[in-house]
Amino acid sequence: MKYSKKERQKLLKQTIEDNPFVTDDQLASKFNVSVQTIRLDRMELSIPELRERIKDVAAHNFENEVKTLPIDEVIGEIIDIDLDDRAISIFDVKEEHVFQRNGIARGHHLFAQANSLAVAVIDDDLALTVKSDLTYTKPVHAGNRVVAKAVVTKQDADTNRTYVTVTSTVEGKTVFIGNFEMFRTKGKGGNE
């Protein structure tokens, strides 16, 4: 579909507000224009490039929020977190993360992103993975951006267990689901 410049810029702005992690390439494809046109539109609308948008979204100091591990040990970049509730991270798959023969990401990278996010979302000084149930639903390739969303589904203060589901997507399509049973040193609400 062909849009006028005014219509395209209005839709572009809305699309980026809805998904600040959308790339210029994805936007160019969506609006059937060149990447350069998208860049010019962003400049006219004073919308920063993707890297800056990610930094803006991550402007919170997550280093002070994440208690279970140092922020630099989280695989991927945390862009949102609400302890004991939910968290989101992004991971850009590069050539060093894929098998050379087929360009498909090695599964342990997707697991590491999901597992470290499941640990990070817990509001405690210590959280350990007791067990996990993993499903890989679609191959991931070099150049893909994996968005992992962790949701705390249950907390059991009697056993000091927290259950976290992490769903990872690429361009809105699910590529990985992990259900994690986590041990924590304190039950919900800080009860020891």
For residue 165, what is the enclosing H or E element? Answer: strand 161-170
The domains of the chain are located at 5-56, 64-190
Question: pLDDT per residue over 106-115, tens digit each?
Answer: 999 999 999 9
- Alpha-carbon span 29 to 136, nearest angstrom: 27
Question: pLDDT per residue over 33-68, tens digit each?
Answer: 999 999 999 999 988 887 777 666 555 445 556 777
> CATH says 64-190 is which class?
alpha beta
pTM of the model: 0.69
Decide if 5-56 and 64-190 have a common fold: no
How is domain 5-56 classified at the CATH fold level?
Arc Repressor Mutant, subunit A (1.10.10)
